[in-house]
Every structure is written in C-alpha cells, then in structure tokens.
A and B are shown apart, each in its own frame.
Chain A
Amino acid sequence: MSAMLTVRGLHKRFGEHEVVKGVDLDVRQGEVVVIIGPSGSGKSTFIRCLNSLEEPSAGSVVVDGGESVRANDRRAMARLREDIGMVFQDYTLFPHMTVMANMILAPVRVKGVSKADAQANALALLERVGLKHKADGYPGELSGGQQQRVAIVRALAMKPRLLLFDEPTSALDPETVGEVLSVMKGLAAEGMTMIVVTHEMGFAREVADRVVFFDGGKIVEMGPPAQIFSAPEHPRTRQFLQSVLH
C-alpha cells in the first residue's frame, strides 16, 4: 500500500524546552496508528505539528505522495492542512451555529462547495452517526458524546485523507465513550487513515494496525498491538503499560 504520510526528523521546541525530539513516522493509506504514552511526553504537540497548529522547528512532512514540505515552511504546511482533519479532546463545535451550520461551514467557505451539496453531504454524514435528527439543534443541546460524533463528521465533511484524533474520549462521561469509539471503529473499517492519540487501550488493541509508544518526545518503540501489548521490547514501554493496565 502507498504511503499516506511520511514524517522525517520532526522537532518542536518551545523556547529552550524541546518537546518533540526528532520523530520519523510512515503511515500507509488506510492504516490506523494509535499513539500511546505518558502525559507530557509530546503526543499532542507531535500531532498538532502535522496540521500546523504548532509550527515545527525542523523536519519534513509529505502527505499522500505530494511535495515534501519543510515542516517550518508555514504556508506550505497550511496547504497540507486541507487534507488533514482533526478531532480534539475538548468539544470544539461552534456554539452559536446549528449542527448543520457547523457541518457546512468549512466545505462552503474553504472548498467552495455549493450550499445544497454541502447540506446533502452533511445530512448523509449525520445519518451515519445517528444524529440526523439533531441537524437543526445547537451544540449546547447535545451530550458530550453527541457533540464529539458531530465533531468527527464535521471533520469528515472536508473529505480529509488523514484524520488526527487527540484524546477524543478523554473529556467524555464514561457512558458516552463507547458511542464515539464505535464511530471511530466504523471509520477504520471503511479504510480511513487515522492517527489516534488515546488512553483507550482496548481500542488500541482492537483497532490499531500499529501502536506507537511515545516517551520524552520520541518514539520509543512501535509495532502491531499484539506485539506491543504482549511482548514490549523496551523497559519504558513495559513500565507504562503496567501502570495503565492496572
């Protein structure tokens, strides 16, 4: 399968403090990569660099066989962003707009899709996550899990080639975590390329093609979930898994 994302030598420092210390990562088309690791290890910073919410200090990024972009070329990175969707931990639906208005905003304003087409597409996406009946509601009327499902399909409405998730279930009530994870499983099954930062080890085990263990701003080890969870090579991975699996 072809490479969807190629990252080379990615660094990010905030002043003196280096948070991402040279990351190389290849993600194949349709692959689901789950990033795990202790809090503060730079996972968020790393994936935020991929769609230039943070400006990387060094490195290069290639999306889907396109041009290789020096990671600190701000303009070029911003162009890559159109192919990359992102779902955050916090609810980030725009509170003053209906669910439908949230869904069609970027397709209409950024991609120039006609309003009618954008609406039709939005309804189909909402139907997929069981929220078609909420199209005219406001985010504040939805539960956390519902908001997060809308956030996922809002990102999908831009037809991204790669979806990033930064702890999408960490802010949810336990009883709504499942509904969000099952939407993500559905996407994975349909072949969406995804990078997911999460503490949901069950999800990682079940859905990931590859699990990446991140610590101290670096990839410590990676491999298929069976290998990482049953036979981690690195002592730090073992230590981390022990702390989260108990």
Chain B
Amino acid sequence: MDFDFNYLLAQWPALLDGMLMTLRVSLLAIAFSLLIGVLGGAVRALRMPVLSQIVAMYVELIRNTPILVQLFFIFYGLPAIGLELSLFWSGVVCLSVWAGAYQVENMRGGLATVEHKMREASMALSLKPHQYFYLVALPIAFRTSLPAVLNTAISLLKNSSYLQAIGLAELTFVAVDRIATDFRAIEMFSAICVMYLALVAILSLLTGRLSAHLQRPFRH
C-alpha cells in the first residue's frame, strides 16, 4: 500500500478551502448557539412562564432527533413553507439550532449554581434584574459552564461534517468529492482527520486561555 504525499500536496489548496468553509460555518454557529444558550438558559433559570416551557420543548426536540434529519428539515423542508436559505446559511442555522439546545442546558446548569445571595446583594444595591443577570449571574455562571460549553462547541465543529450531505463545500465534502474521482481514500481521510484534530486543538487552547483568565479571581 502506498501513501501518496505528493497527491495530498497537490490537493492542498482544495483542502484549505474546505477547511476555511468548515471554520466559517462553525465559528458563526458557535457564536449563534452561545447566544441561544445564554437567552434560553436565562429563560429556563428565571423560570419565565410559557417561554420556559417553549425552550424546554425546543431542547428536547433537538436532543432527541438525529442532526441529519434536522439538517434535511431545514434544507429541504423549510423551502416548502417558503423559507429558503442558501446552502451556507442552512448549514449555519442547522448547527446553531442543534448546538443551541445543548448550550441552553449548559448555561442553565451554570446559572443554577449562582447563589441566591448574589441576587439579593444586587437587589439591595438597586441593580435592575437584567443588570443582575448580565453583570453578576452570567459571568459567574459562564465560568462554571465553560468546560461543557467547550464540549458542545467541539461537537458542533465535528458535526459540521454532516453538512456535506446537503452539498456545502466544507472539509468532508471536499474529501469525499475528491475520493469519488481519484480513489485516494486513505490519504484524504487521514488528511482531514488531522485537520479536524488541529481545529479542535486550537479551539481547546483558546478556551483554556479564557478559562484561566476567568479562574483568576477564584485562585488564592
């Protein structure tokens, strides 16, 4: 069996394009899913009537159905009701909505650990409830949730490879596409495994830095 490095070298520009697409979709979706997580986590933690039940249903729905089905629903289903998204935005929406459900649970868990006395101290200082939420509760909660938040972000990055199923030219799509013509499966899959590993490693590294920064007040 021969492993052809020169082949990979020749395919490098295409792989790089694929990786950049993976990165763009994933970073956008990570940002949106965090937003969903913070808002949904707040709704759940504050037990807002009606909204809280709606968010809970959303979380259950996403966590108990296959992501591929969710993707097809967005890409093939939504146009049928007049909601047509581009390939790229279908991918972003799918990953955001999927990871958002997990981030809601992550943030809810973090917010649940914030002690009640913090809320009372904020009230006694006349902070408004929303000021308490984003100045006090959220930063404290985020520090607790960060490991889980990172896990979800990593899963999102890996799951971006599902987007090849709708034809978005991300990393896995590029590989599969080339294999169909060149039959260099070992080279291609090895290459993209290494590239995914590298992306995950970078994400972990950045989060590690952030975590160390957030932990600073709590080390003594």
Q: How far is the CA of A173 from the CA of B125 in the complex (A)?
A: 26
Chain B residue nearest to A81 (CB atoms) is B126
Q: List the A side residues contacting B136 at CB < 8 Å.
A: 94, 96
CB of A105 within 8 A of CB of B135, answer yes
- Find residues 97-154 in chain B having any chain A CB closer than 8 Å to their own CB: 117-118, 120-121, 123-128, 131, 135-136, 139-140, 143
Given A94-B136, A138-B220, does the pair A106, B126 have CB atoms closer than 8 Å?
yes
Given A88-B117, A92-B118, A105-B135, does the pair A110, B217 have CB atoms closer than 8 Å?
no
Say yes or no: is B218 at the interface (Cβ < 8 Å to chain A): yes
Binary interface encoding of chain B residues 177-220 relative to chain A, with 1 for a CB under 8 A from any of its CBs, else 0: 00000000000000000000000000000000000001011111
Chain B residue nearest to A80 (CB atoms) is B126
Q: List the A side residues contacting B127 at CB < 8 Å.
A: 105-106, 109-110
Binary interface encoding of chain B residues 63-74 relative to chain A, with 1 for a CB under 8 A from any of its CBs, else 0: 000000000000
Given A105-B135, A106-B126, A158-B126, does the pair A97, B120 have CB atoms closer than 8 Å?
no
Say yes or no: is A51 at the interface (Cβ < 8 Å to chain B): yes
How many Å from the CB of B134 to the closest CB on chain A? Answer: 11
Q: List the B side residues contacting A19 at CB < 8 Å.
A: none
Say yes or no: is A82 at the interface (Cβ < 8 Å to chain B): yes
Q: List the B side residues contacting A52 at CB < 8 Å.
A: 123
Q: How far is the CA of A90 from the CA of B131 in the complex (A)?
A: 22
Binary interface encoding of chain A residues 73-97 relative to chain B, with 1 for a CB under 8 A from any of its CBs, else 0: 0000010011001101010111111
Say yes or no: is A140 at the interface (Cβ < 8 Å to chain B): yes
Given A105-B135, A109-B131, does the pair A92, B217 have CB atoms closer than 8 Å?
no
Q: List the B side residues contacting A95 at CB < 8 Å.
A: 140, 217-218
Q: List the A side residues contacting B216 at CB < 8 Å.
A: 138
How many Å from the CB of B59 to the closest CB on chain A? Answer: 27
How many Å from the CB of B213 to the closest CB on chain A? Answer: 11
The size class of the interface chain A forms with chain B is 20 to 34
One of B121, B139, B217 near A88 (C-beta < 8 A): B121
One of B117, B143, B214, B220 near A90 (C-beta < 8 A): B117
Q: List the B side residues contacting A85 at CB < 8 Å.
A: 124
One of A78, A90, A96, A140 near B140 (C-beta < 8 A): A96
CB of A96 within 8 A of CB of B121, answer no
One of B120, B218, B220 near A92 (C-beta < 8 A): B120
B residues sitting closer than 8 Å to A (CB atoms) are 117-118, 120-121, 123-128, 131, 135-136, 139-140, 143, 214, 216-220
CB of B217 within 8 A of CB of A86, answer no
Q: List the A side residues contacting B131 at CB < 8 Å.
A: 109-110
A residues sitting closer than 8 Å to B (CB atoms) are 51-53, 78, 81-82, 85-86, 88, 90, 92-98, 105-106, 109-110, 138-141, 154-155, 158
Q: How far is the CA of A149 from the CA of B136 in the complex (A)?
A: 20
Q: How far is the CA of A140 from the CA of B128 in the complex (A)?
A: 25
CB of B124 within 8 A of CB of A94, answer no
Most chain A Cβ neighbours within 10 Å, of B126, B128, B140, B214: B126
What are 25 A-B pairs with beta-carbon distances under 8 A? Answer: A53-B124, A78-B126, A88-B117, A88-B121, A92-B120, A94-B118, A94-B136, A95-B218, A96-B136, A96-B140, A96-B143, A96-B214, A96-B218, A97-B217, A98-B217, A106-B125, A106-B126, A106-B127, A109-B135, A138-B216, A138-B220, A141-B220, A154-B125, A155-B124, A158-B126
Starting from the known contacts A81-B123, A109-B127, 19 additional A-B residue pairs (CB-CB under 8 Å) come to A51-B124, A53-B123, A88-B120, A88-B124, A92-B118, A92-B120, A93-B121, A94-B136, A95-B140, A96-B140, A98-B217, A106-B126, A109-B131, A110-B125, A110-B127, A138-B218, A140-B217, A140-B219, A155-B124
Chain B residue nearest to A110 (CB atoms) is B126
Q: List the B side residues contacting A139 at CB < 8 Å.
A: 217
Given A53-B120, A109-B135, does the pair A138, B217 have CB atoms closer than 8 Å?
yes
